[in-house]
Amino acid sequence: MAKKIDTEKYVYNVRDVATTRELVETSCELYGNQVAFLYKNGTDITEITYEQAGNDIRAFSTYLNSLGLENEKIAVTGKNSYHWMLTYFAVCCGTGVIVPIDKDLRGDEVAYLLEHSETKAIICSPEVLDKVKNSGYNGIIISMNDIPECINRGEILLREGDTSYRDHYIDPMKMGILLYTSGTTGVSKGVMLSQRNICSNVVQIRKRVNVTPEDRALSILPMHHTFECTVDQALFYSGASIAFNSSVTKLKAELKIFSPTLMACVPLVLETLHRSIMANYSKMKGGKTLLSAQKAVAKGLSMSARRKLFSSIHEALGGRVERLVVGAAAMIPTIHEDYELFGCKVYIGYGLTETAPVCIMQNDNYRAVGDTGFPVIGVQCRICDANDEGIGELQVKGANVMLGYYKNPEETAKVLHDGWFSTGDLVKKNPNGSFSITGRIKSMIVLPNGKKVFPEEQEMFINRSPFVKDCMVFLTEKDGKPVLAVSVYPDMELLNAEAAKRNTTAKAIITDLVTEVNKLFPSYKYIGKIIIRENEFVKTTTSKIKRNEPENRNEK
């Protein structure tokens, strides 16, 4: 029988906070001279201390209030940066409701969200300024390039006796953050989160995961996404420093420049880095044999000894990466195992925008390949309508659950009942009490005979192949009959090289792979059609495939 894990045994003693202002001001007081943020400024590195960040937040908030924006909604959009985080904190701490918006949306989409949210002002990075100006929005537009001058004006107002920041009342239970989802299967909805939702989740995470002022994170995921934003607030709460990645193309260079100790990632980031690591071994004479030997030795070593054994990998990651927090999608188990053998602790987590976001997560005392961990402290989880395999919809309840959908009581009523939020995700409970996410109800395929297929199951096994960058399983037709199909986006360079080595074709290799995967499932789950894509799938900003996107179902 599997050993039952005592989920309440290991809990760190951390301070409670109810509002973003309380989080920010206590951190600024505790860690004043510590570096809070750092970023590249040309060839130089700019460092912002907690004390300076606190002063900038008060001044910028005061300036925004002078524009008549107190208690209004204010949007922020653009690249990850200190000024993005500053805007978020300034609005939440002393002005109104923050509305983070995806920088990659089209101008008309931005205009729709600004109108729907009744936003009075938007603060944006220079890269998206023209898009916002040309969107037809007629509210206040502030470029992040102008924020230093706005701070100067706010400082003057403070010296002249402006007390609007200090006097601003924050109700932790009311909407403080309005976030629009980037769902893979449906239309965006405005998620109303209170400051209590976010702050409770920060505390819930920190009770099981230790973070210290010696830690540094590299912020690489879009900050408008709750996962990155909440993790960054948990870091600020803990006195750690946050460096901002200027672009994906500069990730490898900036890993070396900033030398982070931890990162919040989606699996795609780690898979891309992993492919690079494997390619380097392949180029070495006897590299594959060396890697196998190193991995065998690593199994008997401590994490610090593993990092020394794989020092060349860690050097490429900046030399100090010890922890990787992974969410937003399933991680390929073999890649998960490899990072652990390299000496990186991998923490798998699960959550949604509606839950601020973390519900279930691995922690300092439990990391296992193949599951998602335990509910964070203070969150209740239950499985609704479980089938014979124990798989059913996950429902959660806790201080992190949203207030509802903005201007959408009908959709709110569908998912919130007596404080329980229906996630739409399918889970099973493991013998040791941990949970595993098995799929999403909306992606579930119901066959004509009534049997149900969760495409994530087959996709996980197909994605394990080094020749596959991504894939999507869906229902289509073949010879006039319904059949499961898989659309594969391969690594053509690797695939063609392997085909030449085997004296076969790329299609034959993928066909053999799918045949082997089919053997793992009952016959009704067999994949009967294979499409090899030339282009990447259309995805959300957190790298999830949009299943209903027509381009992703293109069978040519």
Q: Which of 85, 126, 374 is nearest to 232 (CA)?
A: 85
In this predicted model, which residue has the larger pLDDT, 525 or 340?
340
Range with lowest mean pLDDT among 13-22, 85-94, 513-522: 513-522
**Beta-strand pair 216-219/241-244:** parallel
- Predicted local distance difference test score (pLDDT) of residue 208: 93
Q: Do 20-245+258-262 and 264-441 agree at the fold level?
A: yes
* pLDDT band of 214, cuts 50, 70, 90: very high
How much is the pLDDT for 3?
46
Beta carbons within 8 Å of 112's beta carbon, 6+ residues apart: none
* 3-class state of residue 332 by DSSP: coil
Condensed to tens digits (0 to 9), the pLDDT of residues 171-188 reads 999 999 999 986 444 467
Phi, psi at 323, each rounded to 5°: -135, 140
Task: Output the pLDDT for position 5.
Answer: 46
Q: And the tokens for 324?
A: 């990787």
Task: Specify whether domain 445-553 bears CATH 3.30.300.30.
Answer: yes
What does the alpha-carbon distance between residue 303 and residue 5 come to, in Å, rounded to a whole number?
Answer: 22
The class of domain 264-441 in CATH terms is alpha beta
Report strand pairing: 468-478 vs 452-453. unpaired
The tens digit of pLDDT for each residue in 480-492 reads: 788 999 999 999 9
Amino acid, single-letter form, for residue 271: E
Tens digit of each residue's pLDDT (9 = 90 or more) over 101-138:
999 888 988 999 999 999 999 999 999 999 999 999 99
How many CA atoms does the CB half-sphere of 542 hold within 13 Å? 22
Query: In this structure, how many other beta carbons lie within 10 angstroms of the beta carbon of residue 148?
Result: 11
3-state secondary structure 158-191: HHCCCCHHHHCCCCCCCEEEEEECCCCCCCCCEE
Q: Report whether 361 contacts 382 (CB < 8 A).
A: no
239 Cβ contact partners less than 8 Å away, ≥ 6 residues apart: 27, 30, 31, 34, 50, 212, 213
Q: What are the boundaries of each domain within the chain?
A: 20-245+258-262, 264-441, 445-553
Confidence of residue 514 (pLDDT cuts 50, 70, 90): very high
pLDDT, residue 4, reads 46
Residue 79 has pLDDT above 70, yes or no: yes
- Give the total residue count for the chain: 556
pLDDT at residue 157, as a whole number:
98
pLDDT (0 to 100) of residue 10? 67
Give the pTM: 0.83
- pLDDT exceeds cutoff 80 at 191: yes
Please tell me the predicted confidence (pLDDT) of residue 6.
52
For 20-245+258-262, give the CATH class.
alpha beta
What does the pLDDT read at residue 328?
75
Buried b (16+ CB within 10 A) or exposed e, 344-356: bbbbbbbbbbbbb
Residue pointed to by tokens 């995700």:
425
Q: Per the structure block, which two tokens stand in for 173?
A: 């239970």
The answer for residues whose C-beta is within 8 angstroms of residue 393's C-beta and 6 or more apart is: 383, 384, 385, 422, 423, 424, 425, 426, 427, 441
pLDDT given at position 541:
67
